[in-house]
A and B are shown apart, each in its own frame.
Chain A
Amino acid sequence: SFELTQPLSVSVALGQTATITCVSDNIGHNLVHWYQQKPGQAPVLVIYRDSDRPSGIPQRFSGSNSGTTATLTITRAQAGDEADYYCQLWDVRAAVVFGGGTKLTVL
C-alpha cells in the first residue's frame, strides 16, 4: 500500500518558521497537495501541485517536493495557523492517499 508519513506534531514559536514534512518513496514523482483543518471545521486547501497557492492563502505558506519528501513551510507563524495539516496525492494504483496529519502548535 502507498503510505505518506507525517510527524504527529510540530511546534513553532510565534513569528518563526514551521516545517511540516510528508515522506514516501519517490513522492517527488507525484503532485502533492496540502490541507489545513481547524477544530470542528472542514479542511481547506493551502498548497496544491507541490507549490501553488490558492487565492486567499497568504504568501507565508509555501511548498516543495523532491526525492522522498514533500514539505509545507509556514513563515512568520501566527496563532491562527494552529491546526492539523494533511498532505495528499493521487496514485495510479492507490487512488487518493492522505498523510496521517500533523498537529501544528504555535507557542
Chain B
Amino acid sequence: EVQLLESGGRLVQPGGSLRISCAASGFALNSYAMTWVRQAPGKGLEWVSTIRGGATMTFYADSVKGRFTISGDNSKNTLDLQMNSLRVEDTAVYYCAKHLNGLLPSPFDSWGQGTLLAVSS
C-alpha cells in the first residue's frame, strides 16, 4: 500500500529556513515523479515543485524559484523540500504527491495528509 507522510512543518519567522520531508512507503521513490503542492488557509491548490524520477530534472513555481529546493533521498525513500528566505505568503499546508508514473504529465494518484508551515513574526 502506498503511503506518504509529511513532517517538519512549524512556525517560522519571516526570512527563516525550514526543511520539510515526505516519507514514502509502498513504492520506490526514484521510479516516480513527485510533487509538492501547497494550500494557503481557505485558498486553492498551488503547485510548488516537481522532481522527475531519479532526480534527473526539477521544476519550480515562479513564486518559490531560487528559494526552495526539492530533493529525493533514495536510500531513505524520502522527498524533501528545503525552504529558505521564507515569506508570510508561504504560509500553507504542504502536501507531497506521487505521480502515477515517472512521466511529468501524469496525475497525482496518491497524496500525503500535509504538514503546516506558518510564517509569522
Contacts and interface: CB of A to CB of B under 8 A. Distances in A.
A100 B39 CA distance: 11
A49 B61 CA distance: 23
B45 A42 contact: no
A86 B100 CA distance: 17
Interface residues of B, number: 22
B27 to A, nearest CB: 16
A92 to B, nearest CB: 9
Given A31-B105, A42-B114, A48 B100 contact: yes
Interface of A: 30-31, 33, 35, 37, 42-45, 48-49, 54, 84, 86, 88-90, 95-101
Given A35-B45, A98-B37, 12 more contacts: A33-B107, A42-B111, A42-B113, A43-B111, A44-B111, A45-B109, A54-B109, A88-B45, A98-B45, A98-B47, A101-B44, A101-B45
20 contacts: A35-B108, A42-B112, A43-B45, A43-B97, A45-B107, A45-B109, A48-B107, A54-B109, A84-B44, A90-B104, A95-B47, A95-B50, A95-B61, A95-B104, A96-B50, A97-B47, A98-B45, A98-B46, A101-B44, A101-B45
